[in-house]
């Protein structure tokens, strides 16, 4: 029983870290001037982080509200809600 609780807590910690990476990548993108190489690199990083999150946590794929904005950024609309449910 304790092992299951520890495993569940570790999974939540991993998920939290993944969402923190997403938040960091999005913030970096917001700080870049749109259209620059730095911005394109940051956009690619955001989208990669989202793809990795879905790959690492496939059971969440159905819970995530994901869209793509005009610039091509993959956006997780309900990241905070999903994180709260996981905790």
**Digit-coded pLDDT (tens) for 41-68:** 999 999 999 999 999 998 887 889 999 9
More confident call, 71 vs 3:
71
Contact 14, 6 (CB under 8 A): no
**Does the pLDDT of residue 84 top 90, yes or no?**
no
Virtual CA dihedral for 31, 43, 23, 20, nearest 10 degrees? -130
- Cα separation, 85 vs 16, in Å, equals 12
% of the chain with per-residue pLDDT over 90: 67
Q: Report residue 86's pLDDT band, with 50, 70 and 90 as the boundaries.
A: confident
């Amino acid at each position: 029983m304790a092992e299951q609780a520890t495993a569940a807590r570790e999974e939540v910690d991993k998920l939290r870290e993944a969402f923190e990476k997403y938040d960091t990548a999005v913030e970096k993108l917001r700080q870049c001037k749109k259209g620059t190489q730095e911005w394109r690199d940051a956009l690619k990083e955001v989208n990669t982080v989202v793809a990795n999150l879905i790959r690492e946590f496939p059971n969440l794929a159905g819970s995530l509200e994901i869209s793509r904005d005009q610039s091509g950024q993959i956006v997780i609309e309900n990241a905070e809600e999903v994180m709260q449910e996981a905790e």
